[in-house]
Amino acid sequence: MRILQIGAVGSALSYLALSFSQSGTGYPQAAAFVLAILAGTMTVGIALAVGFGAWPDDAAAVRLPRQLPAHACHGCGRPMVDVHSAWVCGRCDRAPVS
């Protein structure tokens, strides 16, 4: 449902900006044309991001409330530690974590 809302609002904004850009010549119309292109590409990008983010990994997966996964190191898979707003791995980063 959210994808439809994003698509409708983005398409409407892009259409209005494109319509205004075709109404005459000058800097405001040129800016409206650039806005129309930007709104169209942003709408497609955001809709794709929302769509793929909501897509379940398994076709038979049950919809559960989303929770943040535990941070695991990309190199060794061990849990990472939050050290003053930075996530470090004690093994790969060779950082003293306690």
Q: Which amino acid is at 97?
A: V
Supply the pTM of this predicted model: 0.52
Tokens of 51: 């769509």
- Which whole-number Å values give the CA distances from 49 to 44, 46, 53, in the listed order? 9, 5, 6
Q: Rounded to an integer, what distance in angstroms lies between the CA atom of residue 10 and that of residue 8?
A: 6
Could you tell me where the DSSP H helices lie in 1-98? 2-21, 27-54
Distance CA 8, CA 11 (A): 5
* pLDDT tens per residue across all 98 residues of the chain: 788 899 999 999 999 999 999 988 899 999 999 999 999 999 999 998 888 876 655 544 555 444 445 678 888 888 888 777 777 887 888 777 66
